[in-house]
Structure 1
Amino acid sequence: MAFVRWSGSRDESVGHDQTSIGMVMSVDDSTLCDEWMIDIGAGVHVCNDWTAFTSLQEDTMSFVGWQGESSRSKAVGHVNVCTKDAKSGRDVVLELEDTRYASSGIRNLLSLERLEQQGWVPSYSESATSEDRQMRLDHDAKMCVMTVADRQSTVMRWHMKFAHLNGQALKQLVLKDMATGFDSLKASDFDKPLKCISCQMTKQKRRSYGRHEKRSKVCYERLMSDVCYVGLETTGGNRYFQLAQDEALRYKWCYLLRTKDEASVNVMNLILQLEQKHVIKKFSRDQGKEFINKSLTKFLEEHGIQLLMTNTYTPEENCLVEKLNENLLNKVRAIRQATGLPTALWGEILLYVVEVDNMSPTKALTGTTPEMITGQKPDVRNLRVCGCVAFAHVPKEKKSHKLSPKAVPTLFLGYAMNSLGYRLLDLRSGKLIERLDVSFREDVTVESSYLEELLAMQYEGREVQLPPNVPFVPRCT
């Protein structure tokens, strides 16, 4: 069998010996999906394995495959191919930039032109001929080249599961063993900066407020709350959200509101719930009219809770919850940027963000999570990427016949509010459902245009002609 050996280095100024990578030339009809083949006529690298990408962006380029078929790329990104030096046996990583993703391809393609542009030079064996245009990576022990899902991609997935939490906070979770379910992840995996395009586009630094008083150190001693107007209506008709936070514990609660009048009722119900185990001494709020009413004032007096109000137009005095509003909305923006979820789902995304934020470490607690302060280590094994595709089991009582599908496609939005399970968007009916028996595809989401039409049909009463099949697409970072 003929073979080709590639020699080269990304940096010719470095005085190291050149790297040699061995490959087998073949023209058989093997259809191994994880194989990488070099095509002399290919102008771009093409990969059919979504998990091999360490970063992705949307792309609509059309190209001709290695067998002459026409394909359309859905995304373009970076792939690392791990191999070994044919001479020394040491590990070598081929960095393939601008690689096109094509899920329908039967093989992964390496572009000869792109490799030569990177400085790799081929040398052929005597039995190799110029007619051999397809070169397959050998699977021999010392000359094996295979695609590996870069460890950074696993880190990125956890970054998304935690609603785009920063890398240092994730590192603390693993380093201090503050949660279970991280499997084989190590703290050192988070040393490299996270290259999340969605975070770069949606998060900006904000001036910090000066601290004017000492913070409470006793859990549940002081609660603070604020109402924020979003200006966009959710599927449930909500335009506001309310955040309540414990000053010492930094644990938070979130409520979606149709009108501001609902805020006082939420505060009273929360206090009644917490007073069963804790003593609440103070409640802080701004001068918003939603909290200026006789019923709330009377309730606080009866329960011996001191009411603290900020001065007009000075949100700095209620800065903890004010900054919390912006931080959480930044994460909502990042999730929408990464998944293309419609704006009408901002409320569902926000509830998901608050849920995982209570499992995340904070500087105010010296790197500990709010849940861990209470003595309960959070279990993150069931965390999923918001906006990913999920398949919900259909009970046999709801099947019309024996050949009915056993699961329906849905979109994961968060966690059930009053039961164990997941909160899902049915991709056929557009209804929000809660199910426990669910399987997930965290690398896939749904075209945003389809979701917009689905929600318009269900919640706005529009007449929309949906396609027969749900348009699944790769999820971008």
Structure 2
Amino acid sequence: MVNVTINDNSTELWHKRLSHMSEKGLNCLAKKNQLSGLKNATLKNCAHCLAGKQRRVSFRSCPPHRKSELLELVHSDVCGLIKVRSHGGALYFVTFIDDCSRKLWVYTLKSKNQVFEVFKQFQASVERETRKKLKCIRTDNGGEYTGSFHEYCLRQGIIHQRTPPKTPQLNGLAERMNRTLIERVRCLLSDAKLPRSFWAEALNTVTHVINLSPSVPLRDDVPDRVWFGKDVSYDHLRVFGCKTFVHVPKDEKSKLDAKTRQCIFIGYGLDGEFGYRLYDPVQKKLVRSRDVVFIEDQTIDDIDKTEKVDSQDSGDLINVNPVPLDSSPDLIQDDVHGDVSDGHQDIDDFDTLMDYVVNDQQQAPIAPPAVPLRRYSSDEYVLLTDGGEPECYEEAMESECKDQWVEAMKDELQSLHENHTFELVKLPEGKRALKNRWVYRLKQEDKSSSLRYKARLVVKGYTQKKGVDFEEIFSPVVKMSSIRTILSLAACYDLEVEQMDVKTAFLYGDLEEELYMEQPEGFVV
């Protein structure tokens, strides 16, 4: 057979005959003299091979090279959405990494729109600290790094390197750091037995420790030592989430109050702050102090959460002989001095009790107790907890009954829509949007009925100003005196009383004012 159009000795012909075999394969067969007339195969670019077999260029072809000067190159990336809000309301965080020292900065964000402002704060801080100018920043091509961010870099003379779409490998240092941060945050929260809402505190702690940790690109040197040019100390480090005793200042306690309170260690001072950051689980607030005693082998589970009892003035105290109590198998007895009295004194009514107290004021000081003091065992306190109602949206989303609370919130929003309570609009200029919160309640008509999960969306009324958001205040709630009167009349005349509940009763009122409210948590459009 003779091919008059194509030379059968050509590499291209054998390439096509062998279903677009590679040049290496063609040469292998040619060396064995298995391809007639072909001794050496040299392929040109084949458009069809590119269409069917083209692969991405290896990222290892350009090995990373660490810069020699501080702020010569900074890597940045945003991590989120994190589904659990931090205590400060953050859902994202942004990282900045100096390529020369590998020093890390992390800022928590409520939205990605804050990246630009945070970057300007970061730039001002590091340039003043080092007396050097930021030369180049490398980011991905996300929307938070375009527009005004990019224009600002141009005006400041900062080179803005943006990676092509779908190539996170080109910003690999920042991407890998995000993974490291998230993994170590999980470890801290698990070890400390803290809820996920503490992720921002754990993140700041991890960042602080990473800057004190040996780095392979630095040949096991430490980022903070390279950045500051001096040795670092590890003596201040403590176990995240451990139990602490914090000294209470004089102006925050009375004479007989305890001089310490139990807290949880949640981090180190930020942005030049001194001392440690601690969380008071009883008062549910942040505490910052340097006068701290750490119990590093205990966690929040070991905190004594007994409520603080207000102390009484010594002038209000009176001496009363104790009345013997009947023993109970559910109580644990403490060893005290004194014999147990068999006597029992009955006090029939309130007047007798008052006479007894007043007459006793002239008696001698209090004697040792006539009966052993009793306290409940730790297991008994399980029965003293509340009904498991979440205090906020985050707690509801972390509870075991998350699905039930979600349905309750959807039911509440459905009622609001059906009653045309509000409509979704953009906030006009000069107007202020009121904040709101979810209130969760467990309802049970009687012991035989099942629990009902109710969620109510309420406006934080304390943020309103008279004359701006309202003129008059009404409280359409029935007084207890009225209820008692009705029940008394029903009992006197042998009447039957029926109870009814008007669902979302407050929604039937008419508002004359024009009010604006933020969208409820979990249902932001």
TM-score (norm 1): 0.50
Q: Which residue of structure 1 aligns with residue 68 of structure 2?
A: 217
1:445 deviation in Å? Answer: 0.3
Q: Which residue of structure 2 aligns with residue 334 of structure 1?
A: 187
Q: Which residue of structure 1 aligns with residue 93 of structure 2?
A: 241
What value does the CA root-mean-square deviation take over the aligned residues?
A: 2.9
CA contact (8 A) 2:389 2:440 kept: no
Q: Which residue of structure 1 aligns with residue 298 of structure 2?
A: 444
1:415 is the counterpart of 2:268: yes
> What letter matches 1:411 in structure 2?
I
CA contact (8 A) 1:361 1:369 kept: yes
CA distance in 2, matches of 1:293, 1:449: 49
Structure 1 SS opposite 2:121? helix
Q: Which residue of structure 2 aligns with residue 227 of structure 1?
A: 78
Q: Which residue of structure 1 aligns with residue 112 of structure 2?
A: 260
1:409 deviation in Å? Answer: 0.6
Deviations 1:325-353 (A, max 9, x none): 11111111111222211100011100010
Q: Which residue of structure 1 aligns with residue 201 of structure 2?
A: 348
1:311 is the counterpart of 2:164: yes
CA contact (8 A) 2:224 2:232 kept: yes
CA distance in 2, matches of 1:361, 1:455: 46
1:320 deviation in Å? Answer: 0.1
1:299 deviation in Å? Answer: 2.2
CA contact (8 A) 2:91 2:109 kept: yes
Q: Structure 1 residues 282, 211: CA separation in 2 closer, same or farther (over 3 Å shift)?
A: farther
1:269 is the counterpart of 2:121: yes
Deviations 1:231-278 (A, max 9, x none): 221111111011110111100100110000111111122112222311
Runs of 4+ in structure 1 displaced over 4 angstroms? 448-456, 458-464
Partner of residue 285 from structure 2, selected from 422, 431, 440: 431
CA distance in 2, matches of 1:347, 1:378: 24
Q: Structure 1 residues 463, 402: CA separation in 2 closer, same or farther (over 3 Å shift)?
A: farther
Q: Which residue of structure 1 aligns with residue 223 of structure 2?
A: 370
> What letter matches 1:423 in structure 2?
R
Deviations 1:3-40 (A, max 9, x none): xxxxxxxxxxxxxxxxxxxxxxxxxxxxxxxxxxxxxx
Unaligned runs of 5+ in 2: 1-57, 306-384, 396-437, 442-525
1:405 is the counterpart of 2:261: no
Which structure has more helix as a fraction of its residues? 2
Q: Structure 1 residues 214, 447: CA separation in 2 closer, same or farther (over 3 Å shift)?
A: same
CA distance in 2, matches of 1:393, 1:448: 18
Trace 1:154-303 onto structure 2 (pairs within 5 A).
210=60, 212=62, 213-229=64-80, 230-276=82-128, 277-294=131-148, 296-303=149-156
CA distance in 1, matches of 2:440, 2:70: 52
> What letter matches 1:445 in structure 2?
T
CA contact (8 A) 2:71 2:136 kept: no
State the structure with more CA Rg: 2
Higher relative contact order (CA 8 A, sep 6+): 1
Trace 1:60-209 onto structure 2 (pairs within 5 A).
none
Percent identical = 31
Deviations 1:270-301 (A, max 9, x none): 1122223113211111011111122x223212
Structure 1 SS opposite 2:179? helix
CA distance in 2, matches of 1:232, 1:353: 18
Q: Structure 1 residues 282, 396: CA separation in 2 closer, same or farther (over 3 Å shift)?
A: same
Q: Structure 1 residues 426, 216: CA separation in 2 closer, same or farther (over 3 Å shift)?
A: same
CA distance in 2, matches of 1:440, 1:455: 32
1:215 deviation in Å? Answer: 3.1
CA contact (8 A) 1:430 1:455 kept: no
Deviations 1:120-167 (A, max 9, x none): xxxxxxxxxxxxxxxxxxxxxxxxxxxxxxxxxxxxxxxxxxxxxxxx
Structure 1 SS opposite 2:96? strand
CA contact (8 A) 1:410 1:426 kept: yes
Structure 1 SS opposite 2:261? strand
Structure 1 SS opposite 2:112? coil
CA distance in 1, matches of 2:158, 2:193: 44
CA distance in 2, matches of 1:391, 1:227: 36
1:450 deviation in Å? Answer: 10
Q: Structure 1 residues 384, 463: CA separation in 2 closer, same or farther (over 3 Å shift)?
A: farther
The alignment of Structure 1 onto Structure 2 pairs a total of residues equal to 256
Structure 2 SS opposite 1:307? strand
TM-score (norm 2): 0.46
Q: Structure 1 residues 449, 441: CA separation in 2 closer, same or farther (over 3 Å shift)?
A: closer
Partner of residue 382 from structure 1, selected from 231, 236, 246: 236
Q: Structure 1 residues 350, 362: CA separation in 2 closer, same or farther (over 3 Å shift)?
A: same
CA contact (8 A) 1:209 1:319 kept: no
Unaligned runs of 5+ in 1: 1-207, 465-477
Q: Which residue of structure 2 aligns with residue 394 of structure 1?
A: 248
Q: Which residue of structure 1 aligns with residue 480 of structure 2?
A: none
CA distance in 1, matches of 2:213, 2:238: 15
CA distance in 2, matches of 1:439, 1:449: 14
> What letter matches 1:252 in structure 2?
L
Structure 2 SS opposite 1:312? coil
> What letter matches 1:222 in structure 2?
L
CA distance in 2, matches of 1:397, 1:455: 34
Structure 1 SS opposite 2:152? helix
CA distance in 2, matches of 1:308, 1:433: 41
Which structure has more strand as a fraction of its residues? 1
